[in-house]
Chain A
Amino acid sequence: MSKIRKAFENGKAFIPFITCGDPDLETTAAAVREAVRNGADLIELGIPFSDPTAEGPVIQAANIRALKGGVKTDKVFALVRELRQDVTVPMVFMTYANVVYSYGAEKFISACAEIGIDGLILPDIPFEEKEEFLSLCHRCDVDLISLIAPTSANRIGMIAKEAEGFIYLVSSLGVTGVRSEINTDLTSIVKIIRENTNVPCAIGFGISTPEQAKKMASLSDGAIVGSAIIKILEQYGKDAPLHIGKYVKDMKNAVRESE
């Protein structure tokens, strides 16, 4: 069974996203530990990419800060290895196809398995292109996470049927970033997902407040938050982990209330 299931066993999940190396890897490690201590159920670790086409300005800037700080794929692997000494919640990587491809997909995915990464989110690998990475993921017991978008329409069932780990349901059109309102008819999308799979489904993109997290979790199995956490890192830099811990606590409580 997928190791990611564990994240959804204690009710609705709260999933924070952190860009590795923003502003440095020590801060990333401290932020992950604070998030876990305060109730994060699954950690999404971003490996920075120079040209992240699915990201809004906040996460784009985090990618640039991290790369300027000298983050390399191997240093991210070392960070995860170090985190795995005490962090037991599931962890997944979020990065772009070229980071994996350039490293060597086989080498990258077997490294994921070896250091304790449970899944891989590649926003520029849609259903049609997944085979190239999927067979390697299967061999290494790493879940390749499927994304479903507001525009997926007739594709929802097809994607859901083959989904593993969890489904990342994109809340809105556009790129990542804080939104004041989310207007997509997510209830209908989740309904089709449920008809096709029992793999859990978490909603991300645009979520920043406890109210939004509560609402999104009530519609699905959990809420994913990226840009709002990156903003805390942007504001507080090396001092961000304690603030992130407090934020995660509030968000996890809100998600719990949705149960």
Chain B
Amino acid sequence: MSKGRFGVHGGQYIPETLMNAVIELEEAYNCYKNDVDFNNELTTLFNDYAGRPSRLYFAEKMTNALGGAKIYLKREDLNHTGAHKINNVLGQALLAKRMGKTRLIAETGAGQHGVATATAAALMGMECVVFMGEEDTKRQALNVYKMKLLGAEVIPVKTGTATLKDAVSEAMREWTTRITDTHYCLGSVMGPHPFPTIVRDFQSVISKEIKEQMLEKEGRLPDAVLACVGGGSNAIGSFYHFIDDKNVRLIGCEAAGRGIDTFETAATISTGRLGIFHGMKSYFCQDADGQIAPVYSISAGLDYPGVGPEHAYLHDIGRAEYVAVTDDEAVNAFEYLSKTEGIIPAIESSHALAHAMKIAPAMDRNQIIAVTVSGRGDKDCAAIARYRGEDIYE
């Protein structure tokens, strides 16, 4: 079995042209991950630039309204650039810089990873090109403008379904064209080894903080940790330091779109099967002939036909549970958190919040759940307004 495996999942299923690039990346990462200077610099960026540690907020009104478990929100939405994506990007950009790269390329779905990458590139004086599905450039026009404002070039991808998977394919194609000066700053815990490991490590700061903050506030660990899953980077970040704490339920919330019994869904673990795509073996939504399915979700960030290999493994061994949340449920949660707590969550994060609203009432009042609010919802306001039949200008 090749490197970078999580059970049967993971691996390095990429063209030969990219093999030396991922080997070089792995060597650089192994060299720097325990390097004191590198980690000090990253911690300074996390704290002074991105605003870490992010808050763990007790959502008291929501807790009382639902009448069950205590609900804590991990406020990744308060990070600089408005989502958890910055954690991974600062790590990778710093690593790329140490490797002598001068140019970052990235894919983006909702635009949060693209904005984060453009931000890091601006900060570190690097060139930046972001690939974004044309459909998503329309759904997330504000983020396209932000990326350009930050100095990045945004290339709309018109192939396939013109969404996240096509943006990933196009970024991979671009990387094969230009390797020497370019680092592919992959935004989720997916793709070929070492990306799933690198991205997980940089995102694991989320669970490290939840654990410390929860022990400080409650003197004990939560009973459940919830996060939304597209590729799964905020979820693996939220789960990682709890994996060995077997009493903590880990719940990943996938996008069911219009329902897992319809073709308009992006719930990979509920509806996909084992396959090989985008550099990894994992679960994918696909047809009987192995053609990748055109998935759908209201959330551009969860609109992906695969899932990171470590999630596939946590599902296989039963350590984490994966549930599917529909567009309707997510939109309700989006509105609910806005009205109840005065926090407008990203539509992606709203999938996790929707599931928390489902399970909290059935839990005891002395139980605790932590929900990661992976991003803020400003970017989604126009789309949600349209979903409710209201046409607004951004």
Contact = CB atoms under 8 A, between A and B. Distances in A.
Contact of A98 (B12, B18, B21, B290): B290
Given A51-B277, A72-B289, A101-B290, A170 B16 contact: yes
Nearest to A74: B289
Nearest to B178: A173
Interface residues of B, number: 38
Contact of A129 (B13, B274, B275, B290): B13
Contact of A149 (B12, B17, B275): B17
A11 interface: no
Interface stretch (B125-133, B141-149, B168-176): B168-176
Interface in B130-166: 159-160, 165-166
Interface string B257-291: 00000000000000001111111000010101111
Contacts of A170: 16-17
Contacts of A49: 290-291
A73 B289 contact: yes
Most chain-B CB neighbours within 10 Å: which of A126, A154, A174?
Answer: A126
Most chain-A CB neighbours within 10 Å: which of B21, B165, B172, B284?
Answer: B172
B21 A53 contact: no
Contact of A126 (B15, B277, B286): B15
The B interface, classified by DSSP as helix, strand, loop or mixed, is mixed
Contacts of A125: 13
Interface in A18-40: none
A97 B276 contact: yes
Nearest to B288: A102
A50 B292 contact: yes
A51 B169 contact: yes
A152 B16 contact: yes
Given A98-B275, A98-B277, A101-B275, A126 B289 contact: no
Contact of B12 (A72, A126, A150): A126
Contacts of B169: 51, 53
A99 B16 contact: no
B14 interface: yes
Given A173-B178, A174-B177, A175-B176, A51 B165 contact: yes
Given A98-B292, A126-B19, 20 more contacts: A51-B160, A51-B169, A51-B292, A53-B172, A54-B176, A73-B289, A97-B13, A97-B277, A101-B290, A124-B14, A126-B14, A128-B3, A129-B13, A147-B16, A149-B19, A151-B20, A151-B21, A151-B179, A173-B177, A174-B17
